[in-house]
Structure 1
Amino acid sequence: MSFKKDEMLIMPAVDIKNGKCVQLVQGKPGSEMVEIENPELVARHWQDLGAKCIHVIDLDGTIDGVANLTAVKKILKEVSVPIQLGGGIRSIEYARQLLDLDIERLIIGTMGIQQPQTITELSDEYGSDRIMISLDSKDNKVVIKGWQEKIDKTPTELSQEFKEHGAGSILFTNVDVEGLLGGFYTNPVVELKKSVDLPVVYSGGITTIDDIKKLNESGVDGIVIGSALYKDKLDLTEALKYQKRI
């Protein structure tokens, strides 16, 4: 599913931990504010409300390095819309396994940053549209390994490198505001969007319809909404009205 010029793709998040759909505060284990059985049914619910793509993160893989492939396969079986998947992709072999399952777009973070040649290999093999690089930002520096380790580069600095390596899009998560339900800062994502000629998807702190309007006007190509949907701060049906470019 390619990004469209006249659209900001709105994607509900389904984060998987211990076989459940969860929402963590700033990605910290033990901070679950939401726990729901059967993530595949949650994904189906968002599809039924009109979502064109589901954003799935395997937190078991991200935090513990143990992939939750069973839950991922259940989601793929339950929904018909494209799946964008990330979390715990530590080897090119596992990335290939996921792409061969018909994951629409694979989100690669730590492995891609530490071994950028893997992005080139996967883009050459499967097409750059299916490979997204995850640039997670804390204090305007990129963090990796489940947000536990910071490297001395900004998302803007790294974005140029990954376009050259063949990434087809960027997921930008602002860890400073993620999961806090307190809004977000527009400037970092606007700066990133201006710096690179690649689709940019934003995640972190989206809480109100006004937040969605701001992001639509910023020119980002997609957004991921998590906690606000699960805590009834946002209604997905209402949010999807702003999928078309304002």
Structure 2
Amino acid sequence: MEVFPAVDVLRGMCVQLVQGERSTATVYGTPLENAQKWISLGAKNLHVVNLDGAFSASFENARVIREVVSETDVFVQVGGGIRSIADARGWLDAGVDRIIVSTFATKEPQSISALAKEFGSDRIMAGVDARAGEIAVSGWQETAGDYIEWAQLFEQLGAGSLLYTNVDVEGLQAGIAVEPVKALIDAVSVPVVVAGGVSSTADVSALKSFGAFGCVLGSSLYSGKISLQDALKEANV
């Protein structure tokens, strides 16, 4: 199973939020510094989120995110604020390995088909952010229907993978919610990367046993509750 250390970018700095609330931001230095730190500890993937883009303009942090892409040699997936085909194309043309489309995918589902046709399904990941069983959009401020039904639609439209984030437990460092993860993985056939609540090697082991393709490490990694080396070891047992 793949492990994706998170590099969340807010106002040019690497931060961690609790349940998406900007007022809870803890700053951990520059995105590149953190990317290089995780790579030095064995990371082969990075999960980069443009948090300013998730709340406002999509390219607010373009310079620092592009720096991470150009100065590292690992797999990088980027999400946050992708609101148009042009936004998506800009990131993919800039060398990002895979983009994550979330709110845009719910508002214009056919965009997934268009992007998959142009760039290949492997480079298009649909974001399934869920709160209380419904997909959460617009910076997690609104909900828009059953998360599994949306996930199945995204798969049908050509998304090569899904990013499932359980907003209910995201950032709380209290463990994953098992049943929603299992239900989603069982409902689709494309790879699923899981974010939200991954706080221990037991969580990593559980996700692997459910058939998750990967997991994102965020707040628990930055606080030191889980080490990257231990997570990688557990993911590769």
Write the deviation string for residues 200-228 of structure 1: whole angstroms up to 9, x where unpaired: 01000111111111111111111001001
Q: Secondary structure at the match of 1:88?
A: coil
User: Does the aligned pair in 1 maintain the 2:198–2:204 contact within 8 Å?
Assistant: yes
Write the deviation string for residues 176-207 of structure 1: whole angstroms up to 9, x where unpaired: 00001111211111111111111001000111
User: Does the aligned pair in 1 maintain the 2:131–2:167 contact within 8 Å?
Assistant: yes
Corresponding residue to 2:212 among 196, 208, 220:
220
Q: Secondary structure at the match of 1:124?
A: helix
Corresponding residue to 2:225 among 233, 236, 239:
233
The answer to whether 1:55 aligns with 2:47 is yes
Q: For the residues of structure 2 that align with 1:208 and 1:38, how far apart are their CA atoms?
A: 25
> 2:57 corresponds to which letter in structure 1?
G
Aligned residue number for residue 195 of structure 1: 187
Corresponding residue to 1:42 among 34, 39, 49:
34
Corresponding residue to 1:113 among 102, 106, 123:
106
Q: Identity across aligned pairs (percent)?
A: 42
User: Does the aligned pair in 2 maintain the 1:41–1:78 contact within 8 Å?
Assistant: no
> 1:29 corresponds to which letter in structure 2?
R
Give the Å deviation of 1:77: 2.0
Aligned residue number for residue 5 of structure 1: none
Q: Secondary structure at the match of 2:49?
A: strand
Aligned residue number for residue 203 of structure 2: 211
Aligned residue number for residue 10 of structure 1: 3
Structure 1 runs of 4+ off > 4 angstroms? none
Write the deviation string for residues 148-176 of structure 1: whole angstroms up to 9, x where unpaired: 1111x222111121111110000000000
Structure 2: 5+ residue stretches without partners: none
Aligned residue number for residue 136 of structure 2: 143
> 1:25 corresponds to which letter in structure 2?
V
Q: Secondary structure at the match of 1:229?
A: helix
User: Does the aligned pair in 1 maintain the 2:58–2:83 contact within 8 Å?
Assistant: no
The answer to whether 1:94 aligns with 2:91 is no
Q: Secondary structure at the match of 2:36?
A: helix
Q: Secondary structure at the match of 1:132?
A: strand
Q: For the residues of structure 2 that align with 1:66 and 1:158, how far apart are their CA atoms?
A: 23
Structure with more strand by fraction = 2
What TM-score results when the alignment is normalised by the length of structure 2? Answer: 0.97
Aligned residue number for residue 4 of structure 1: none
Give the Å deviation of 1:66: 4.5
Q: For the residues of structure 2 that align with 1:139 and 1:95, how far apart are their CA atoms?
A: 28
User: Does the aligned pair in 2 maintain the 1:19–1:37 contact within 8 Å?
Assistant: no
User: Does the aligned pair in 1 maintain the 2:58–2:80 contact within 8 Å?
Assistant: no
Aligned residue number for residue 120 of structure 2: 127
What TM-score results when the alignment is normalised by the length of structure 1? Answer: 0.94
Q: Secondary structure at the match of 2:24?
A: coil
CA RMSD of aligned residues (A): 1.0
Give the Å deviation of 1:65: 2.7
User: Does the aligned pair in 1 maintain the 2:169–2:196 contact within 8 Å?
Assistant: yes
Structure 1: 5+ residue stretches without partners: 1-7
The aligned length equals 236
User: Does the aligned pair in 1 maintain the 2:58–2:87 contact within 8 Å?
Assistant: no
User: Does the aligned pair in 1 maintain the 2:105–2:126 contact within 8 Å?
Assistant: yes
> 2:95 corresponds to which letter in structure 1?
D
